[in-house]
């Protein structure tokens, strides 16, 4: 979180100075639209298990809901997808609002959406701190408390912070049971047991962020306990955590100035009970689960949107409490939370339509008046003066007289009481109708009770019959079991006898088999010996015959070798003869050659001489 070099207080002072200028110039207070942002979380386990696909696509300012054949598109001041973590939401949305609160404005931040879309996650998130530090999952409230104290301790001379936590649930019942209009007048009660009563803490002074978180935790725990005890539908209650900041500034003339800013952080009930137009739908009606305050909030938004003269703020405790945040002097931001899954399509469209309508509401934020000590004293003095005048008038006229101013105030109060009586009368009427319906229900219940008693008696008779049948069945079954046991033991004896006999036979067989094996062994040894003798005889004969035949063959070979030797000698002699013949032949050839040469020379000489 970064505040830059300029301190928050300086910025606030500047803003105040510019505001004052506007007022001095006599310009009209500036109207601004309610800021509406949308936060779409990722799919949760239940949606993944249901195989429900993602149908939401976001850009920084647009949101598209897939709906074939064409997507539905919405534009908001800002859109956050599943990747936007708690720190980003706080930095973008809340820090600018905190500057306004410190500058003395009243601001309100609503979380609106279907159950389980992340309203409480966004507003509260993880409330645990580790070593005095908030967790990554901490939501807007703990982050606001820490940021506020850090800034005030750094910037402000003197300050005080008060917080309150109130809860509204089951608006219809609450209106009947509670006659208290101002939540600050309420006693702190055990919310877990008091059905439908507006509950909560009066304003408490807190010294640090952890004190503030403690107040929220107490309320939050009770809220969950009461929801579990009273109504399983966790989305039925609204919670409002308010932080009021008093900052004292000393002016250059030494005058002390008190600046007051307030921030309401509202976690609304689940919006699934509300129809698209803010009118109650059939499902909600059937379930008897109409959350009047949310319906009224929807109607107020519609009426403000259409610039109606009458806005039904007074029709529910929530809208009465937040009247100033809608079309009043407060700066307001709505965070609409949605699921990305297809199964939530209807509720998502309903939430986006609702949020889109809220975008058109215009507020005229005005900073709370800074009060000086002098002004406070002056105010008290004039009040005392007025009271003195009333007293004097009363004494002098010896009756009940008062100033015009007091008379007017009394008349206003009287009118307001009359309005309230009228409201109570209407409530009373609807109560009477409900009482009559309850009586009818009671008569029906009585006849049902009698019917049940008859059925119970019949059941008892039937039960006795069944008991008899069961006991005779048990006896019969026992008889069967005994006879079966006897049969089993007889079978066991027979089996034992047969087994013994079989064992005996097997033993005898074993002895016999051993004897046969011995006999067969000795026979085979004898046969083996005879076979060996025969084989050796045969081998001897074979050896003798082979030896004789070999001798014969060797003789023949020897003879042929001898013959060969003789032939070789003859061949050698022949070779000698051939050699001498060859030599003789060569000599003859040479003589012939020489004789031929001489004849050729002579003939050549003869030829030349003739020429
Ligand atoms: N932006 C987010 N990121 C991660 N988890 C989220 C986010 N938003 C919601 N969740 C988870 O979704 C679940 C439902 O959220 P949560 O209880 O805040 O819904 P809700 O709108 O306050 O419901 P209800 O109306 O019943 O009180 C919780 O488990 C919460 O942790």
pLDDT tens digits, 102-121: 988 889 999 999 989 999 99
Q: Is the dihedral of CA 280, 286, 287, 289 positive or negative?
A: positive
* Model confidence at 584: pLDDT above 90: no
> So what's the pLDDT on residue 281?
47
Using alpha carbons, select from 545, 370, 291, 303 the residue that is nearest to residue 16: 370
Sign of CA dihedral 57, 63, 68, 70: negative
Whether the predicted pLDDT of 4 surpasses 70: no
- pLDDT band of 198, cuts 50, 70, 90: very low
The residues, any chain, with a CB within 8 Å of residue 134's CB and separated by 6 or more, are 126, 142, 143, 146
Compute the average pLDDT of residues 439-462. 88
Q: Supply the residue whose CA is at minimum distance from atom 3 of ligand 1.
A: 41
Backbone angles phi, psi at 380, to 5 degrees: -65, -40
Determine contact, residues 213/142, Cβ cutoff 8 Å.
Answer: yes
Q: Are 319 and 326 in contact (CB under 8 A)?
A: yes
Portion of the chain with pLDDT greater than 70, in percent: 80
Length of the chain: 611
User: Rounded to the nearest whole angstrom, what is the distance from the C-alpha of residue 120 to the centroid of ligand 1?
Assistant: 6
pLDDT at 125: 94
From CA 259, how far away is CA 174, in angstroms rounded? Answer: 35
The answer for residues whose C-beta is within 8 angstroms of residue 148's C-beta and 6 or more apart is: 98, 101, 102, 161, 209, 243, 245
Verify whether ligand 1 is closer than 6 Å to residue 236 (CB atom).
no
Pocket lining: 293 vs ligand 1, CB cutoff 6 Å: no
For the CA of 113, the closest atom of ligand 1 is 21
Q: Which atom of ligand 1 is least distant from the CA of 121?
A: 18
* 121 CA distance to ligand 1 middle (Å): 5
Q: Report how far ligand 1's centroid is from the alpha carbon of 181 (Å).
A: 31
> Is-above-0.90 flag for pTM?
no
Please return the burial class of 334, using the count of CB atoms within 10 Å of its CB with bins 0-12, 13-18 and 19+: buried
| pLDDT of the residue at 553 | 84
Count the Cβ atoms, other than its own, within 10 Å of residue 581.
10
Tell me, using a 6 A CB cutoff, whether residue 238 lines ligand 1: no
The alpha carbon of 119 and the centre of ligand 1 are apart by a number of angstroms equal to 6
335 — phi, psi (to 5°)? -105, 110
Which residue is it, tokens 């297809």?
A: 342
CA-wise closest residue to 151 among 101, 215, 93: 101
Residues 333-358 have pLDDT tens digits of 999 999 999 999 999 999 999 899 88
Q: Is the CB of 325 under 6 A from ligand 1?
A: no
In CATH, the architecture of 8-369 is 3-Layer(aba) Sandwich (3.40)
Question: What integer pLDDT is reported at residue 607 of this predicted model?
Answer: 66
Q: Is the pLDDT of residue 570 over 90?
A: no
Number of H helices, E strands in the chain: 14, 17
> Is the Cβ atom of 344 under 6 angstroms away from ligand 1?
no
Substitution site in 45, 118, 136 for ligand 1 pocket (most atoms within 8 Å of beta carbon)? 118
Q: Quick one: tokens of 547?
A: 């030896």
**C-alpha torsion sign, points 224, 230, 233, 238:** negative
Q: Which of the two residues, 273 and 267, has the higher pLDDT score?
A: 267
Q: Which residue has the higher pLDDT, 339 or 254?
A: 339
Residues 6+ apart with CB under 8 A from 317: 168, 171, 174, 175, 178, 198, 293
Spell out the SS3 assignment of 345-382: HHHHHHHHHHHHHHCCCEECCCCCCCEEHHHHHHHHHH
Q: Which of 211-220, 271-280, 311-320 has the highest mean pLDDT?
A: 211-220
Q: Which residues are annotated as a binding site for ATP?
A: 113-120
Answer whether 115 contacts ligand 1 (Cβ < 6 A).
Answer: yes
Distance CA 261, CA 369 (A): 10
331 has a pLDDT exceeding 80? yes
Sequence spans of domains, the chain? 8-369
Ligand 1 close to Cβ of residue 119 (< 6 A): yes
200 pLDDT tier (thresholds 50, 70, 90): low
Long-range contacts of 124-132 (CB under 8 A, 24+ apart): 124/216, 124/220, 124/267, 125/86, 127/213, 127/216, 127/217, 127/220, 129/210, 129/213, 132/210
> Residue 557 above 60 pLDDT?
yes
Strands 256-267 and 106-113: parallel
Q: Residue 123 CA: which ligand 1 atom is closest?
A: 18
Residue pair 257/371 in contact (Cβ under 8 Å)? The answer is yes
Q: What is the ipTM of this complex?
A: 0.98
Check if 121 has its Cβ closer than 6 Å to any atom of ligand 1: yes
* Ligand 1 centroid to residue 229 C-alpha, Å: 21
Query: For residue 62, what pLDDT is reported?
Result: 96
Q: Whose CA is nearest to atom 11 of ligand 1?
A: 118
Taking the CA of residue 577 as centre, how many other CA atoms within 13 Å lie in the half-sphere pointing to its CB? 6
Q: Is the pLDDT of residue 410 over 80?
A: no
Tokens of 255: 């005058």
Terminal CA-CA length for the chain: 146
């Amino acid at each position: 979180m970064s505040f830059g070099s300029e301190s928050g207080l300086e910025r606030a002072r500047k803003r105040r100075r510019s505001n004052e200028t506007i007022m001095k110039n006599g310009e009209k207070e500036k109207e601004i639209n309610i800021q509406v942002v949308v936060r779409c979380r990722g799919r949760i386990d239940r949606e993944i298990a249901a195989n429900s696909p993602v149908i939401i696509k976001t850009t920084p300012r647009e949101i598209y809901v897939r709906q074939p054949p064409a997507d539905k598109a919405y534009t908001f001041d800002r859109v956050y997808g599943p990747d936007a973590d708690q720190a980003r939401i706080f930095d973008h949305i809340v820090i600018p609002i905190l500057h306004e609160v410190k500058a003395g404005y009243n601001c309100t931040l609503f979380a609106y959406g279907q159950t389980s879309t992340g309203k409480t996650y966004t507003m509260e998130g993880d409330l645990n701190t580790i070593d005095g530090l908030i967790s990554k999952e901490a939501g807007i409230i703990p982050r606001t408390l820490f940021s506020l104290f850090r800034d005030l301790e750094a910037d402000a001379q003197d300050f005080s912070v008060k917080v309150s936590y109130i809860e509204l649930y089951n608006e219809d019942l609450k209106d009947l049971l509670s006659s208290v209009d101002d939540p600050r007048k309420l006693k702190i009660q055990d919310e877990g047991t008091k059905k439908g009563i507006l509950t909560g803490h009066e304003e408490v002074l807190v010294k640090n962020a952890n004190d503030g978180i403690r107040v929220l935790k107490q309320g939050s725990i009770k809220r969950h306990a009461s929801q579990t005890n009273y109504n399983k539908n966790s989305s039925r209650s609204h919670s409002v955590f308010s932080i009021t900041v008093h900052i004292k500034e000393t002016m250059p003339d030494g005058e002390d100035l008190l600046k007051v800013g307030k921030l309401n952080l509202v976690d609304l009930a689940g919006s699934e009970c509300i129809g698209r137009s803010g009118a109650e739908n059939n499902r909600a009606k059937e379930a008897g689960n109409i959350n009047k305050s949310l319906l009224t909030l929807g109607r107020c938004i519609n009426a403000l949107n259409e610039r109606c003269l009458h806005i039904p703020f007074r029709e529910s405790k929530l809208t009465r409490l937040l009247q100033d945040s809608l079309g009043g002097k407060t700066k307001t931001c709505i965070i609409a939370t949605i699921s990305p899954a297809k199964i939530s399509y209807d509720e998502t469209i309903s939430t986006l339509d609702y949020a889109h309508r809220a975008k058109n509401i215009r507020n005229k934020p005005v900073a709370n008046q800074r009060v000086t000590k002098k002004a406070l004293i002056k105010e008290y003095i004039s009040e005392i003066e007025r009271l003195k005048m009333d007293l004097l008038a009363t004494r002098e006229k010896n009756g009940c007289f008062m100033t015009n101013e007091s008379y007017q105030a009394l008349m206003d109060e009287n009118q307001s009481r009359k309005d309230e009586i009228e409201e109570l009368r209407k409530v009373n009427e609807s109560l009477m109708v409900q009482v009559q319906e309850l009586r009818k229900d009671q008569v029906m219940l009585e006849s049902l009770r009698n019917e049940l008693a008859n059925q119970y008696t019949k059941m008892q008779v039937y039960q006795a019959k069944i008991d008899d049948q069961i006991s005779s069945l048990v006896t019969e079954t026992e008889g069967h079991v005994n006879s079966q046991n006897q049969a089993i033991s007889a079978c066991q004896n027979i089996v034992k006898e047969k087994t013994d006999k079989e064992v005996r036979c097997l033993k005898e067989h074993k002895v016999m088999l051993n004897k046969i094996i011995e006999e067969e062994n000795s026979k085979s040894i004898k046969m083996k010996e005879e076979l060996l003798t025969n084989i050796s005889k045969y081998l001897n004969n074979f050896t003798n015959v082979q030896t004789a035949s070999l001798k014969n063959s060797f003789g023949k070979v020897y003879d042929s070798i001898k013959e060969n030797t003789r032939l070789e000698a003859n061949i050698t002699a022949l070779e000698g003869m051939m050699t001498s013949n060859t030599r003789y032949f060569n000599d003859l050839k040479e003589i012939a050659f020489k004789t031929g040469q001489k004849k050729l020379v002579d003939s050549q000489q003869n030829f030349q001489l003739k020429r």
